[in-house]
Every structure is written in C-alpha cells, then in structure tokens.
Structure 1
Amino acid sequence: MNKLISSDEQINDEIRCQYIFSIMALTPKTHLDSIVDYLNDEDMYVQERACEIIGFHRYIPAREKLIEVSTTGMHNGKFAAKRALARMKENL
C-alpha cells in the first residue's frame, strides 16, 4: 500500500488520503513509529490525523516531532499537535 501512495503514478488526493487513513487506523500500537512519518505529509488532514492517533496513544517518542508540528505545521496539524501534546501531559 505504501508503494502505491508514494509511486510516481498520480492518484486522486482524496483516495490517497483515505488509503493513508486506513493504514494509520490499522497500524498496531507496537508500530506507532511508522505513523510519525505522516507528521511530515503535505496533506493537512493526514498530518492532523497522525497527530490525533499519536496523542490518543500518548506516544512519547514522537513528542519532539509534535512540538515541531505545533509551530511549523499546517493549520490543522498545528492544533492537532497541541492537543496531542496536552494529552501527553495528562499522563505525567
């Protein structure tokens, strides 16, 4: 699936987004590090959803990347990263 998303072939942005959402939804908690890559995605909805999932699981190794997204990310990503970071603080 990841090869299809990153291939040179043009796929519809909405379909690409849905593929990535499916990948993130099916990613087991033990492989959350693979979701961190989507924090750099050019689609603001993908970036937002990656932040939400990381925040939901309170995945501490992604904290620094979330801080970066909260200041330099896209509109949706910034707010989602701030919410994820706040959720991580609840656990401390």
Structure 2
Amino acid sequence: MRSQDTVTVLIEIHAKDGQEEDARHALLHAIETSAKPGLISSTEYEDIDDSGAFYAIQVWETMEAFHAHMKDAAENGMNEAVQILRTHPKTAVLRTIG
C-alpha cells in the first residue's frame, strides 16, 4: 500500500532516427547511476511498435522529491541528453482513479 504522499510519474522520450540505442542506454544509465533521493521505484519500457519510444514509470516519496530531482537534472546535463531526442521529454504526474 502506498502512502498518500507518494507521486507516480510517467516519463516519455522519443529518440531521433538512428539514436535509438543511445537513448535506451542513456535512460537506463541515468536511472542506474544517478543519486535520486526520494525515488522509490523506476520501471523502464520501450514501445514494441516504435523502436525510438521509451517510457519510465517512477514512484517518488513526495512531489517535492520529484521536483528537486527535475531541478537537479536540468542543472546537471539534461540538456546534453536531450540532443539525441526528437522532442523534449514529456512528464505526466499521475494519480489512481477508482
């Protein structure tokens, strides 16, 4: 059972043509090697119909932890990683329904 304070985030990235492997590696490497205080879990996916589309579903302890991570990412190289993508990464903060 998750605390009501936890936040689930969907991250969507789309690699430029020819950059699919680099994007896959960058996503997995960023998850594995970065200190992410407040990150409870992260599961990464790729679209079986679009080899350049990747997704991560992350659960954070709080909205503040997620925002702190995004601020840190913006200050520490996210702009370089974006160069291999078709568009800027999309994020959606989710809540369960029903």
Q: How does the TM-score come out when normalised to structure 2? A: 0.28
Higher fraction of strand: 2
* Largest Rg, 1 or 2: 2
Higher fraction of helix: 1
Of structures 1 and 2, the one scoring higher in RCO (CA 8 A, sep 6+) is 2
Q: How does the TM-score come out when normalised to structure 1? A: 0.30
